[in-house]
Amino acid sequence: MENLLIPYQATGNITANCVLVLAPHPDDEVFGCGGAIMRHIEQHVPVHVIIVTDGAYGVSPDEATAYAQQRRNESIAAAAILGYGAPAFWQQPDRGLYYGEKLIGEISTAIHDTQADLIYAPSVYEVHPDHRALAMAAVEAVRRCENPVQLALYEIGQPFQPNLLLDISDLAARKMEAMRCFASQNAKQRYDLDIAALNRYRTYTLPADISAAEAYILTDT
């Protein structure tokens, strides 16, 4: 049956006591799981967001510092709309993430320091190399956790086969407002419209009263 391959019902919330969101670039935290972040905040669950790279790939060296700051400011503005506080910026080189002990260790430390029991990370099926590297490192860091931790993989550039759909119908307008903060990226391509369309598409198997959903692969350690 089809419902063995994709959910035919959506959940209203993913249960957690403390959340850590790993985003490869400034904007991925909103595009990938902005609805989930807002849902956790509604439930008074603390959310910690780490944006791993500076997002300055393709910019000339004399412009890189200002451009990276612009992208940080965009994420800070979006964070205010989502309501979780402010992100942390590791400022690693854009397109410079590599799967290995260094990145795994940094993520493991972040999990330990925040005491998060639910980690959001991009999926291993993403096409961008930074997304894939961060995804694989997150999977391994969570695998090594001594305490029970859930991992929720989110989609941005490559849709996947999810095992959980999160109803964000009532949050879609505010997510769009947050996505519009990323003017530097939307000027290159209307990513805000692309993600809104993806969230709408994710209602394909859901009841008619659900107008937007985020898709996740949710796993337990």
What pairing do the DSSP bridges indicate for beta strands 88-92 and 118-122? unpaired
Residue 200 in tokens: 């709408």
| Residue 11 DSSP class | B
User: pLDDT digit string (tens) for 26-40?
Assistant: 999 999 999 999 999
User: pLDDT digit string (tens) for 78-95?
Assistant: 999 999 999 999 999 999
Confidence of residue 221 (pLDDT cuts 50, 70, 90): low
Confidence of residue 15 (pLDDT cuts 50, 70, 90): very high
Please answer whether residues 157 and 128 qualify as being in contact, where contact means their C-beta atoms are separated by less than 8 angstroms.
Answer: yes
For the cut 90, the answer to whether the pLDDT of residue 1 exceeds it is: no
Angstrom distances, CA of residue 130 to CA of 54, 124, 175 = 11, 10, 23
Please answer whether residues 212 and 169 qualify as being in contact, where contact means their C-beta atoms are separated by less than 8 angstroms.
Answer: yes
- CA distance linking residue 70 with residue 187, whole number of Å: 13
Confidence of residue 119 (pLDDT cuts 50, 70, 90): very high
